[in-house]
Chain A
Amino acid sequence: MAEGTAATEPGKLERSAPAEIAFKDVVKQYPGREQAAVQKLSFTVPPGEICVLIGPSGCGKTTALKMVNRLISITDGDITIDGQSVRGLELTKLRRGIGYVFQQIGLFPHLTVEGNIGSVPRLLGWSKQRIRDRSSELLELVGLDPKTDLKRYPGEFSGGQQQRIGVARAMAADPPIMLMDEPFGAIDPIARERLQNDFLRLHHQVRKTVIFVTHDIDEAIKMGDRIAIMRDGHLVQMDTADEILAHPADEFVASFVGADRGLKRLRVRTLEDLELGPANGAGPSEPSLRRRTSLHDALSTMLAEGTSEIQVTDDDGNVLGSASLDMIARLIAPDEEISTA
């Protein structure tokens, strides 16, 4: 856990290896309630992946998340981090090794940004200089300016900026795991989108195993390497966004992901997923897009340009082949037929 972070040279990003999180028949039963809030929940999040827990309110997703750092006690079953039971660890030690970001942000208003980010490192006994270096580095990583912002108080920042500080604080001691409970839920849509993108970029740079709770299916599709859909304390389906959209396990999942799930798939697939036609299939006048463009954006371009074909290029602009409206339709269509049959 946290003590696995060896001292590194100042200015160099500290990285611990991400850990595997496994739920094993986890039950949460509140006294006096007939139905358990979480019932025999079992799933595994591989190291370095973002697993999104999603479902209607009251489905037990937040309860499941908070049992990992034992903000909520586990009634039965176990949760392990790299094979080690969270029930066997000392509470403070467990929590100092897990980054926690939640909707209400919960920054300490009486501490400066540096004081906030440095909270856990101080508990771990880091030197002042190391905390300062780490704070500057993280602040820059989340898109704020260490020169001006380190010495300011949380009250001086907007909601979106505060949550950026919240993310930096959660990552301060370089925990191998992060728990995020609707972290962007209270942020306005434009800032939320930026935060989502920045967090994905950040996650690409600094791999953490992340459990991410949301009730927004679009956010789940965007953020999750894997999505776990919950209902009434049960896990209904867990798979990649594309699989869940293509093959919803039942009526509930199908209606939960939305009637437009075919369109939503366009967001998770890219031009790379197509078997491209010959490079000369499209004329030179056709628009060209990079291969990592989502099918959603590619389709949008085709519709906007009034064409049914586009050129696909690699990151350097070399033409790889052509893509057509038909290809996109074929990639999405067969699955649709099966699942609605």
Chain B
Amino acid sequence: MSGLSTVLVPAAGGPVIPHYGGASKCIVENHQFCASWFFDNFSTRFEPRLWEHLELTAIAIGIGSVLAFSAAILAYKANWFTTPFSLVAAFLYTIPSLAFFEIMVPITGINRTSAEIALVSYTLLILFRNALAGLQGVPAATKEAAAAMGLTPRQSLFRVELPLALPAIMAGLRIATVTIISLATVAAYIGAGGLGEPIFDAIQTGFKTEFIAAGVMAILLAIVVDIMLVGVQRLITPWSRRRVRVT
């Protein structure tokens, strides 16, 4: 629980929030949501956490992508690799998140690294499965055409097969990202920072406004990032939107 000691909100027994001398009625009576307190404290208590959260997510997705996509390409080229990697990824995926973070603490300590290792592990199954499915879904005729035109296997992979797998890869990326944004809140338990910090804090103190503000921000973050990824997907797969024109 030492991770929580870094939190700024004074957490003592008795009254929920004893240190707000000039606090409004809303705060003193601990209403569901005190908007003015939220806006007053946004830049100091929430904004840094939001950025931390994004960073946690981005690092996990970035490293997870590199690992999962490399594994997917390997499995696509060498079929035997699919089962062992799927098994490991599926095993990691089944570990309850709180347990996973706890397991990492004796190994890598109470810090970001522990959190990231767990988060990366959760991305692998989703990213790998989708990328592999996308690659395997490339029509045989398209690959035959590429080979017959004299593309080398590498050119075919990078110019034809991977671009055609993009919709499936992006679908996996969206699911993984939303999942990680959600799981990253739990990572605050081992001191990784992020929006989980105010949530854990509010659970301790019972301060409803802080709890709801951080929770809603995590949800909004997931929605906004997902919408942005949809935008990216549209941008990089313009062909998938245009459909057959009747002639």
Interface residues of A (CB under 8 A from B): 69, 71, 91-96, 98, 100, 102, 104-111, 119-120, 123, 152-158, 161, 169
Residues of B contacting A158 with CB < 8 Å?
244, 247
Which residue of A93, A107, A161 is within 8 Å of B145 (Cβ)? A107
A157 to B238, CA, bound (A): 16
Pair A93/B150 contact, Cβ less than 8 Å: yes
A104 to B239, CA, bound (A): 19
Q: Does B35 contact A (CB under 8 A)?
A: no
Residues facing A in B147-169 (CB within 8 A) are: 147-152, 155, 160, 163-164, 166
Pair B149/A119 contact, Cβ less than 8 Å: yes
Residues of B contacting A91 with CB < 8 Å?
150
A161 to B247, CA, bound (A): 9
Pair B242/A110 contact, Cβ less than 8 Å: no
A95 to B160, CA, bound (A): 17
A152 to B150, CA, bound (A): 24
Pair B149/A95 contact, Cβ less than 8 Å: yes
Pair A100/B243 contact, Cβ less than 8 Å: no
Distance from B239 Cβ to chain A, minimum over Cβ atoms (Å): 4
A165 to B96, CA, bound (A): 53
Residues of A contacting B141 with CB < 8 Å?
102, 104-106
Q: Does B144 contact A (CB under 8 A)?
A: yes
Pair A120/B242 contact, Cβ less than 8 Å: no
Pair B242/A96 contact, Cβ less than 8 Å: no
Closest chain B residue to A166, Cβ basis = B145
Residues of B contacting A102 with CB < 8 Å?
141, 144-145, 148
Among A94, A106, A152, A161, chain B packs the most CB atoms within 10 A around the CB of: A106
Q: 9 A-B contacts, Cβ less than 8 Å apart?
A: A93-B150, A95-B147, A100-B149, A102-B141, A106-B144, A119-B149, A120-B150, A153-B239, A153-B242
A53 to B48, CA, bound (A): 72
Q: Does B245 contact A (CB under 8 A)?
A: yes
Pair A110/B150 contact, Cβ less than 8 Å: no
Which residue of B139, B142, B150, B237 is within 8 Å of A96 (Cβ)? B150
Residues of A contacting B152 with CB < 8 Å?
92
Chain A interface mostly helix, strand, loop or mixed? mixed
Which residue of A106, A111, A156 is within 8 Å of B242 (Cβ)? A156
Tell me whether A71 and B155 are in contact in the complex, defined as CB-CB below 8 angstroms, given that A155-B242, A155-B244, A157-B247 are known contacts.
no
Closest chain B residue to A124, Cβ basis = B150
Residues facing A in B217-247 (CB within 8 A) are: 237-240, 242-245, 247
Among B141, B238, B239, chain A packs the most CB atoms within 10 A around the CB of: B239
Pair A109/B239 contact, Cβ less than 8 Å: yes
A71 to B151, CA, bound (A): 12
Pair A106/B139 contact, Cβ less than 8 Å: yes
Distance from B145 Cβ to chain A, minimum over Cβ atoms (Å): 3
A153 to B167, CA, bound (A): 16
Distance from B160 Cβ to chain A, minimum over Cβ atoms (Å): 6
Residues of A contacting B242 with CB < 8 Å?
152-153, 155-156
> 3 tightest A-B contacts by CB?
A106-B145, A104-B141, A95-B150
Tell me whether A157 and B245 are in contact in the complex, defined as CB-CB below 8 angstroms, given that A91-B150, A119-B149 are known contacts.
yes
A98 to B150, CA, bound (A): 9
Residues of B contacting A169 with CB < 8 Å?
149
Residues of A contacting B237 with CB < 8 Å?
110
Residues of A contacting B244 with CB < 8 Å?
155-158
Residues of B contacting A98 with CB < 8 Å?
148
A153 to B166, CA, bound (A): 16
Residues facing A in B110-136 (CB within 8 A) are: none
Residues of A contacting B151 with CB < 8 Å?
92, 119, 123
Pair A108/B148 contact, Cβ less than 8 Å: no
Distance from A182 Cβ to chain B, minimum over Cβ atoms (Å): 12
Which residue of A92, A119, A156 is within 8 Å of B245 (Cβ)? A156
A39 to B121, CA, bound (A): 55
Residues of A contacting B155 with CB < 8 Å?
123
A175 to B209, CA, bound (A): 72
Pair A123/B150 contact, Cβ less than 8 Å: yes
Residues of B contacting A69 with CB < 8 Å?
148
A105 to B147, CA, bound (A): 13
Residues of B contacting A123 with CB < 8 Å?
149-151, 155
Closest chain B residue to A172, Cβ basis = B149
Closest chain B residue to A94, Cβ basis = B150
A285 to B164, CA, bound (A): 64
Among A92, A95, A108, chain B packs the most CB atoms within 10 A around the CB of: A108
Tell me whether A100 and B239 are in contact in the complex, defined as CB-CB below 8 angstroms, given that A120-B150, A123-B155, A157-B245 are known contacts.
no
Pair A108/B245 contact, Cβ less than 8 Å: no
Residues of A contacting B243 with CB < 8 Å?
155-156
Residues of B contacting A108 with CB < 8 Å?
142, 145-146, 160, 164
Residues of A contacting B149 with CB < 8 Å?
95-96, 100, 119-120, 123, 169
Residues of B contacting A154 with CB < 8 Å?
239
Which residue of A71, A109, A110 is within 8 Å of B148 (Cβ)? A71
A30 to B166, CA, bound (A): 36
A132 to B8, CA, bound (A): 63
